[in-house]
Structure 1
Amino acid sequence: MDTSNETRVLQWLERALAQPAPTRRAWLQAQVPSESLRRRVERLLDAESSLGDFLERPAAKAAADGLPQPGERIGPFQLDDRIDSGGMGVVYRAHRADGAYAQQVAIKLIRPPRLGSDPTLQAQLAARFENERALLARLAHPNIARILDGGTTEAGMPWLAMDYVAEGVVLTEYCDRQALDVAARLRLFCKVCDAVQEAHRHLIVHRDLKPENILVGADGEPRLLDFGIALMRGDDGEYPDWVCAQQEPVDEAATALGAMTPAYASPEQLRRQPTTTRSDVYSLGVILYQLLAGMRPYALAGLDRTEAERTVFHTRPRPLRQALDTASLDAAERRRRAARLGQDLEHIVAKAMHRDTGQRYGSAQELGDDLRRHLAGRPVHAHPDSARYRVGKFVGRHRMGSAFAAVALLAVAGTTGMAAWQARKAAGAASDMRQVNAFLMEVLSASDPYESGHELTLSQALDMAATRIDAHFPDRADLSAEVRFGIGYSMLSRFRLEQAAPQIERALRDSERLYGRDDPRTLRVVEGLAGLRHAQGRIADAEAAYLDGIARSERAQLQRDPVYLYLVSNLGLLYMSQDRYEDAGVMLDRALALWQSAHRREGADADHANLLSNLAQVAHARGQLARSEALYGQAQAQFERLHPQGSPDLAVVLGNRGMLAEDRDDLTGALALYRQSLDVRERVFAGDHPSTVVGLANVARLLVATGDSTRAVTMAERGAAMADRVFSGPHPRHPSTHATLAEARFATGDAAGAAEALRHAQALATRLESPPPSLMSYLERIGTRICAQPVATASDCPPLAASAPR
């Protein structure tokens, strides 16, 4: 038996069945070049027609033909309703009905034996369905619909149960309904790239990527579906025996058009050439073009195969901005997108859709990484390289003023404190400014990618600057102290504590020697040192430094200086971190009064928004939920006005509002807020950061609470691994994140894994100088749950009392 020919017949039959019945023969005439192949498909279409109004028959008659009906059982699941159907498959929404646990799924089956007169083709169809089931079983990714179960019905139809994407919406429709801006569309698309890369990592080529196969659920997460025509290659690049019949031979009769969607198909698919992972990259490029421009790059509707191939190979898509001009969008949306469609995105889309496979991105991951570089303001690999382009990107990411020297200053120092000091002293310090700028220009010159071979990150530039301070300012200890503090404070804000400590400690010694203990410049460094001690987990030292700074400020009558406000406010934050909410409330109320006294005639700023956010957290802890919600609302509105693209402070507010929603038993709302907060954190902090650890743990915890324990484990493991990399010293967030991992594992039934994570969390907690009561309560609550299970053993139950920190 010629299995490859039978497969081609099956593919063309499925494609023909998707056409309107009156035009099927004309469509086949235009599409299929082989007369023998066409006649075989036409005979099957005749058999199909003889079945009459199969789909329109009453339920009882349809059931007699073998199509399951809502209410019937398949395996442990009961069918609820049919949600999709195609030429060969049908999909139902179903729920678990065996009482094991609550679960909603999507059940996919091949249609009943309308091909009963041709057992060979029926066997081929079943093999193709088994292909999809085998492929999905290999994949485990939060953005790929998982296979949950599978089998064969009593009537002999293969079925599989997959994740049901609740309220799933096609990717393009979701972006339009939510009125997502360009950046949000790109962030969502990057997750699609991650899903495709996961398939490629398992040697699976999807071959039919299109918006309809990417659904976005109510949780805002995309899910990649429909691997029905995917192919799997072995480690040697060859197809396994059980899918050999799926590969398209390169001859006149064979064509991949029966196994893909032409509008999104790669040029090699249109030419019936072998497909690779770069074929999927091309399809991703088409989807990206449509997401950004509001229309597809080519108009292929109604074209036959030859015309479609000629269009793709002999015309070029219009640039994104030109296509946007004719897209079906309102004027406001067109202007909003046009403002964000620069040359980088043009180059990225062009590289993804290049007709030459060798000129495309090598993988979906490379495409996603370039998009993330664009979002972060970094040079993208798709853009033609030049010194001007890379330097422009470097400066553009850190633009803080109009003059290049001022931009460079803030790009390296990364702190407004230095700029403010320079501004106050500008009238009599022109020479000082020139010296500082010369130093910073020296650092920028050394970080030129055409000198070093690659572009230095801001952290690397800071490290370089720190090593050159003494050599550049041998006779100006005052300037070196200011520069050193600016660099140290920037390192602290990026949680690079080991690098920040020597800079801030040295800056304090120099400032006290140069200016005295009570000078504002010295007190500014005292406030920075207190923040460093807090981040290091040295709570007693941090509190002593804040109180010392406050006492010095009052002795020097500096209550109206901004440094006094920061000392008082940040001491309130320290108390909050220790669950000392009464003390925190006193300090924060005092700080708010200071701000109002100094800014009576000015509008709200970030300091005011932060104070409102912190007071909201205190109100929440005191049970004043309505006041807390009102204060959070004010703070969020101010942050969104100050930073429309998001900020770390906005992420904190969103996360805290999620906690408030939790306490009001609004778990759905809480999860949405936590996801929104995590999205901002990951966008603001490129790479590992404690703030991102918090975001991951919050989402994982709520996924457990809402019953999605499998994804909770994935998020919790990411958070725990990041916490291990970030926290080099004791910190309450470190054991807390591992406790969340224990909770997530326990929810999946992994008692041993949960106990292991909890033991690790307990060990980390013993290192804390003053563990917050809320942390210890969390650890005890999870430990009690693990040990309460009937089959718990001594190894499953960490010795809580013995591990309790001092």
Structure 2
Amino acid sequence: MNPSTEMQALQWLERALERPAPDRLAWLHAQSMPDGLRRRVVRLLESESSLGDFLEHPPAMPVPDGFPQPGERVGPFQLAARIDSGGMGVVHLAHRVDRAYEQQVAVKLIRPLHPGADPALLAQLVTRFENERLLLARLTHPNIARILDGGSTASGIPWLAMEYVEGGVSLIEYCERAALDVAARVRLFCKVCDGVQEAHRHLIVHRDLKPENILVGTDGEPRLLDFGIARMLDAGDAAAGPALTTLTAMTPAYASPEQVRRQPATTRSDVYSLGVVLYQLLAGVRPYALEGLSPAEAERTICHTQPRPLRQAVSAAPLAASERRRRSARLSSDLERIVAKAMHKDLDRRYGSAQELADDLHRHLQGRPVLAHPDSAWYRTTKFVGRHRAGTALGALAVVAVLAATAGAAWQARKAAGAAEDMRQVNAFLLDVLSTSDPYESGAELTLSQALDAAAARIDQHFPDRPDLSAELRFGIGYSMLSRFRLEQAAPQLERALHDSQRMFGAADVRTLRIVEGLAGLRHAQGRIGEAEALYRDGIARSERAGLQHDPVHLYLVSNLGMLYMTQDRYEEAATMLERALALWQSAHRRAGPDADHANLLSNLAQVAHAREQYAQSDALYRQAQAEFEQLHPQGGPDLAIVLGNRGMLAEDQGDVAGALALYRQSLAVRERVFSGDHPSVVVGLSNVARLLVATGEPAGAAATATRAAAMADRVYTSPHSRHPSTLATLAEALLAEGDAAAAGDALLRAHGLAAGLEAPPPSLTAYLQRIGDRLCHAPGAAVAACAQLHSAGAAAVPAQP
């Protein structure tokens, strides 16, 4: 038996010995593991049984000749008591006795093995132990347990003396005992990241980060332990010891996908493990339940299954009701996205270092925008240039121009006597926002997204008695947040703006109607379809009563109501509203040359014609819209990406699969260029490509693309939205094409659960879920139980497996 399998056998033996003796064999046979491994563990159990109950009493445990015991001396230290043991070492509390000075330490020695263990395993453990001693000697940091001394006993057993962590308990246990809130847990975790970053700075990858390897002492400081399977990145350094041991002993529950696949570990592998620890620290449960799974099942779970978002996990965690409520109230979408980015299965999309993860957590604690949050290239401004204040001024002028445009309508509409004072107040507000983004203070370049978020937090401070000014500012900032799909942040800005605007200007004022249109768009994005429709209809009625049919706000209200109907598959109502909007544009808003409003109307009308199977008309309208968008935005933009994607759907329905895939890929490229982070538009693009890869016989590429889409959907759709279950159904379709019926069933069941939470699921979504369910239940190896669950989930038309 090779050393890796021998280590697994010993680990299973330890787990079995934790149970009462009469139950051990039954428990072992109930576990999922290879037969050869099970037979080895049974033999070890039988051997232990023949030796009596010595394992129930660790002090009497037989050990190899010459292994130090409490009361004996190791180097200048006398062992006092055994305090811990793990997969490779035994740790004793010890005191210095050479009278040089008083010192209490933790002495770690090679763990005594069962007499029947393979000798090669001992050689591996000794090599790894020596490796740990060499690596720890390079590290000096308050959040890493320091090595103080080391050597070998007279019988050749290596030992090392480490800093003793007074009262040390694992990270999770410490937080639970101290009843730390979410913010305190995050602050403590940032110190853990600091220790990991120090190791990375010395080119050391820990490879086994988990709560048990992070002790927190009575001083409240966390310290990293157990660098036994760490490795050097600069393998050519002779002082580093072996670059990689053959004994695999990482903890699967915290291991990255590349580790469980036995691929080389990097610093981003440690970042993934930190993400798992942070998930457990905040949610109260680990992201994956691996107990009882075979190695292959565990690998598939880690590499292909998306964990539940934090807030969903907390709702199912074994916590007291009061604690669950307390955590849920403090777990924001920013924290969910930070954890998701740290745990991204694609290592290139994780944080580049433990420092980057800590920095984003500090931004969250300070109420600043985080890098894990989706952002849009459309809402970025000129970067601050260099380290000179002249460069700072250039960037500030760019932001002033945009924010001033947002606020301009408010002070321009004032009477001449008050305009100068209004302008002074707005300028003072803008300068205050900009001062917080000075690179000499923040150490980072300014983005418009950050400036807008900072502005939102300072409106009340600058305009406590001027709701007329603050309403316009809130509307501009809230609309920007909506465009970046920051729905939770946009909602209070738009709601407060509407309240103040109606109070100051009246229900039918054009400024109020602009906010109504924005709030309706927010409700649509939140999946609150009934509210969105009511707001659009109310806005249209108000604008008509006020005689504002020729104002752009009336055009947008009519057009966007048509688009809402279209997304709900209410195509007749959509056609009526969109044709009405086109007539409004032609009579009151026609411009020479390409126009974005006109192009969007053509694109939406093309989609309605497509749904009515008027393919020739649809194609002509799409091409006309595409030509206008390409003139308006030669480098591409979100609207062009939508048109390209819709043209792909049209080609797909006409049987041109290759042409459809090419258009989908072109659309996805534009979406990813425009949106630098997670965004619903990218989710749509990925899903379309995944579906077509299934159709063209590329299941592996389809599964990878659909997995990425599903993970992004989990991050961006924090409230019910029809695209979320649709994306999960695409994942099910891709997994089914790859032959993984079990995982496909899990994905489809989750899609049904999400669809059940929608206010008004579109018929096309229901049909899509039913179609994939039908394929699943007829697939080879499909589970009857899964099909029955699909029936109970609402897919009544899905046939049972024959």
Structure 2-normalised TM-score? 0.51
Deviation of residue 431 (structure 1)? Answer: 3.7
Distance in structure 1 (CA, Å) of the matches to 2:544 and 2:406? 21
Deviation of residue 760 (structure 1)? Answer: 0.8
Match of 1:652 among 642, 656, 679: 642
Q: How does 1:2-401 map to 2 (within 5 A)?
A: 385-387=386-388, 391=392, 394=395
Question: Residue 509 of structure 2 aligns with which residue?
Answer: 519
Deviation of residue 553 (structure 1)? Answer: 0.9
Cα 1:727/1:664, change in 2 over 3 Å: same
Amino acid at match of 1:788: H
Residue 573 in 1 paired to residue 563 in 2?
Answer: yes
Distance in structure 1 (CA, Å) of the matches to 2:583 and 2:416? 32
Q: How does 1:688-703 map to 2 (within 5 A)?
A: 688-703=678-693
Match of 1:408 among 377, 387, 399: 399
SS at match of 1:557: coil
Match of 2:518 among 528, 535, 558: 528
Distance in structure 1 (CA, Å) of the matches to 2:436 and 2:578? 44
Question: Residue 314 of structure 1 aligns with which residue?
Answer: none
The one-character-per-residue Cα deviations of 1:427-476 (angstroms, maximum 9, x if unpaired) are 77344233223212211110122212333543333222111101101232
Cα 1:475/1:774, change in 2 over 3 Å: same
Residue 761 in 1 paired to residue 751 in 2?
Answer: yes
Distance in structure 2 (CA, Å) of the matches to 1:768 and 1:201? 48
Residue 564 in 1 paired to residue 565 in 2?
Answer: no
Question: Residue 542 of structure 1 aligns with which residue?
Answer: 532
Deviation of residue 618 (structure 1)? Answer: 0.6
Distance in structure 1 (CA, Å) of the matches to 2:599 and 2:774? 39
Match of 1:728 among 718, 724, 742: 718
Cα 1:714/1:422, change in 2 over 3 Å: farther
SS at match of 1:729: coil
Deviation of residue 424 (structure 1)? Answer: 6.5
Distance in structure 2 (CA, Å) of the matches to 1:599 and 1:384? 40
Deviation of residue 601 (structure 1)? Answer: 5.5
Contact 1:759 1:798 in 2 (8 A): no
Q: How does 1:457-496 map to 2 (within 5 A)?
A: 457-496=447-486
Contact 1:412 1:458 in 2 (8 A): no
Question: Residue 708 of structure 1 aligns with which residue?
Answer: 698
Unaligned runs of 5+ in 2: 1-202, 206-233, 247-265, 267-351, 357-370, 797-802
Count of residue pairs brought into register by the alignment: 446
SS at match of 2:458: helix
Distance in structure 2 (CA, Å) of the matches to 1:801 and 1:598? 52
Residue 584 in 1 paired to residue 574 in 2?
Answer: yes
Residue 618 in 1 paired to residue 608 in 2?
Answer: yes
Residue 639 in 1 paired to residue 629 in 2?
Answer: yes
Residue 554 in 1 paired to residue 555 in 2?
Answer: no
Match of 1:774 among 764, 777, 784: 764
Cα 1:669/1:391, change in 2 over 3 Å: farther
SS at match of 2:665: helix
Distance in structure 2 (CA, Å) of the matches to 1:486 and 1:757? 39
Contact 1:765 1:804 in 2 (8 A): no
Amino acid at match of 2:751: A
Contact 2:687 2:705 in 1 (8 A): yes
Contact 1:689 1:726 in 2 (8 A): yes
Cα 1:805/1:470, change in 2 over 3 Å: farther
Question: Residue 718 of structure 1 aligns with which residue?
Answer: 708
Cα 1:684/1:433, change in 2 over 3 Å: farther
Question: Residue 498 of structure 2 aligns with which residue?
Answer: 508
Residue 665 in 1 paired to residue 666 in 2?
Answer: no
Distance in structure 2 (CA, Å) of the matches to 1:673 and 1:743? 21
Contact 1:786 1:796 in 2 (8 A): no
Residue 752 in 1 paired to residue 742 in 2?
Answer: yes
Match of 1:439 among 417, 423, 429: 429
Give the % identical residues: 66
The one-character-per-residue Cα deviations of 1:585-640 (angstroms, maximum 9, x if unpaired) are 00000000001111345333111111111111111111111111111111111111
Cα 1:409/1:744, change in 2 over 3 Å: same
Amino acid at match of 1:503: Q
The one-character-per-residue Cα deviations of 1:355-391 (angstroms, maximum 9, x if unpaired) are xxxxxxx99xx9xx9xxx999998999x994245874
Question: Residue 253 of structure 2 aligns with which residue?
Answer: none
The one-character-per-residue Cα deviations of 1:489-534 (angstroms, maximum 9, x if unpaired) are 1111111111111111111111111011111111111111111111
Amino acid at match of 2:774: T
Amino acid at match of 1:701: R
Cα 1:801/1:456, change in 2 over 3 Å: farther
Structure 1-normalised TM-score? 0.51
Distance in structure 1 (CA, Å) of the matches to 2:533 and 2:496? 20
Distance in structure 1 (CA, Å) of the matches to 2:723 and 2:446? 30
Distance in structure 1 (CA, Å) of the matches to 2:517 and 2:605? 21
Distance in structure 2 (CA, Å) of the matches to 1:570 and 1:377? 22
Question: Residue 455 of structure 1 aligns with which residue?
Answer: 445
Amino acid at match of 1:579: D
Cα 1:748/1:389, change in 2 over 3 Å: farther
Distance in structure 2 (CA, Å) of the matches to 1:760 and 1:560? 46
Deviation of residue 555 (structure 1)? Answer: 1.1
Distance in structure 1 (CA, Å) of the matches to 2:426 and 2:385? 34
Contact 1:408 1:441 in 2 (8 A): no
Deviation of residue 418 (structure 1)? Answer: 5.0
Question: Residue 791 of structure 1 aligns with which residue?
Answer: 781
SS at match of 2:718: coil
Deviation of residue 240 (structure 1)? Answer: 8.3
Amino acid at match of 1:526: V
Deviation of residue 753 (structure 1)? Answer: 0.9
The one-character-per-residue Cα deviations of 1:654-702 (angstroms, maximum 9, x if unpaired) are 1111111111111111111111111111111111111111111111111
Distance in structure 2 (CA, Å) of the matches to 1:491 and 1:508? 16
Distance in structure 1 (CA, Å) of the matches to 2:736 and 2:651? 24
How well do the aligned residues superpose, as a CA RMSD in angstroms?
3.8
Unaligned runs of 5+ in 1: 1-199, 203-230, 243-276, 278-361, 396-403
SS at match of 1:571: helix
The one-character-per-residue Cα deviations of 1:98-120 (angstroms, maximum 9, x if unpaired) are xxxxxxxxxxxxxxxxxxxxxxx
Residue 740 in 1 paired to residue 730 in 2?
Answer: yes
Question: Residue 597 of structure 1 aligns with which residue?
Answer: 587
Cα 1:558/1:785, change in 2 over 3 Å: same
Cα 1:557/1:450, change in 2 over 3 Å: same
Cα 1:607/1:805, change in 2 over 3 Å: farther
Question: Residue 147 of structure 1 aligns with which residue?
Answer: none
Cα 1:758/1:800, change in 2 over 3 Å: same
SS at match of 1:797: helix
Contact 2:410 2:469 in 1 (8 A): no
Contact 2:777 2:787 in 1 (8 A): yes
Amino acid at match of 2:756: T
Amino acid at match of 1:408: V
Question: Residue 497 of structure 1 aligns with which residue?
Answer: 487
